[in-house]
Structure 1
Amino acid sequence: MQRRAAAVSVVVFLLLAAGAYTFIGAAQQPDVTLEDPDHTLSASETLTVAGTSYSFTEVSDGSATAEWTNESARYTETWEADDTVVYEGDNYSVAIPNQTDPSEFELREVQTVEWPTVEQNGTTYVIVEEDGERRLVERDEYLPEPVVHEFSEGDAIERPDNDNETVVASVTNTSVTIEWFAPRTNELSFAEGENTTLGDTAYLAHFEQQGGESVLQLTTDYQDYNSDVAAQSTFHERMNGLWGIVILSSLAAALLVMLAFMPSRY
């Protein structure tokens, strides 16, 4: 009798496991679809938002990249005190006055000596050869007065290989900052379910396959997207429950079989 009852129970558990497994195989995960996306884009297409054009260089399954150009981006360059910089084709040293809040600085010509030099008693001398004779001349006496250029905050300043108008933006007691404005190419990235701002609008990204290629869909209807994501989450929860039935029913059936065939002590 016990083995018959066990057999019936085993059949019940196996039917439960088989039914759950069959349902798992037949079930289909709901798709995330946007009913009316604001924009649908593929690679090499351009989207203009709030006067700015975005060129999509790559659209793949789950990610995309777009480039846009800021026509008047700010560029800066910082010079520390005593740095050597090129101005009007020559080398100059940055000289900042020893003040708490300076607004001016100087570029002083960096002078070089073609003759050998020697140090004596803390003074640098130039070894000059004339008419077969050598004589020592103090370096400061040998060189002419260095060329000095004075600048204040707001002054224009020439920079090599830079055709943009460049000005002195700020002067501190340790550094000088110059600035200019020129085009700059920026890059934006898009990922599934993430927000990216174009202009002043934040768009949610979704990717689909259309005509054998990946397309990017942008929407501001977050509820449309989130409801489909929630449906997928519910689907996975139910599938996990069904797998639990398959596993537990199979284990119960196996356990009953083993118990039914254990030898009796009486």
Structure 2
Amino acid sequence: MTMLLVLGEYRIIGTEPDGDTIHFVPTDPLAFDRLKDAPPVEVKNGAARVRLDGIDALETHYDRTGPRIRQPAEFGDRAAQELLTFLGFSHVQRIGQKVVSANPPLSPGWLLTQGGDPFKRCVALLGTGTPPGADGTDLQVDVPLLRTTANHHLLTTGLVYPSFYSKLPHDLRDELATVTRQAREAGLGLWPLDATTTPGGAPITGMPSLTEVVILPKLFRRLVDHFNLVEQSLTGFPAYLAGKEDNVEVLSTRTRQLTLAPLVQIIDGAAVRMTAQPEDSIFAEN
């Protein structure tokens, strides 16, 4: 499958980049118009919001359904810093999560994309250095090219989770799954503290406990939304999940589920675990 190559610059001053999102200023303001029959990408004030394909970093400022909350700071902050360093930024200064200065203020780079997500963010593989082709061309993305991207790099460090959607070509997905397992087996990054699939589960006793456990960000977001919208207990969490259409396939068992509910266990009313590893799941595009 081909992806559109877009050249431009990464912009972080005045924004809140984390381990899997950043702003990108395309050289050609109409670059994303070439994505025919694809979900649209919004360009606002010259920049597109970019969501890194194939990965999910710990949340540093989630506030979709209530007050801002974050996952454990160590790995969310480390992933964000690793991404900015990879993209060529140094001496990054923040007030809260907002970047107020950096060297350089803009960093040249390129991205490969198939289109946007439901929030009109560009879902992409991110690169720096010599582009692999001319601006605005469609490229066949193979594993060697994938290995040059920030997406691949972050998974090799163990600082982010894999997050696969159905449009990601299977050979690229397999490569990202392989480096995920290698990072986990080597005990890199967040993996020694990951409680997503541990037998006893992640201890969850309410909203404050979510800031203390390392779990898959998608599970974290579902728990936050449940606590904000339903109740401060796990009692109704399976029913809440059953009402959220996630359309997930578990590769190892070749099973498809309309929701995450069958993949989540509540243990003694005080812990949550998932029954499939993150790299073993593929979500349908919304």
Instruction: Please give the range of the TM-score, normalised by the shorter of the 2 chains.
Output: under 0.3
Which has the larger Rg?
1
Question: Could you say which structure has the greater relative contact order, defined with CA pairs below 8 angstroms and 6 or more residues apart?
Answer: 1
Normalising by structure 1, what TM-score? 0.16
Greater share of residues in strand: 1
Normalising by structure 2, what TM-score? 0.15
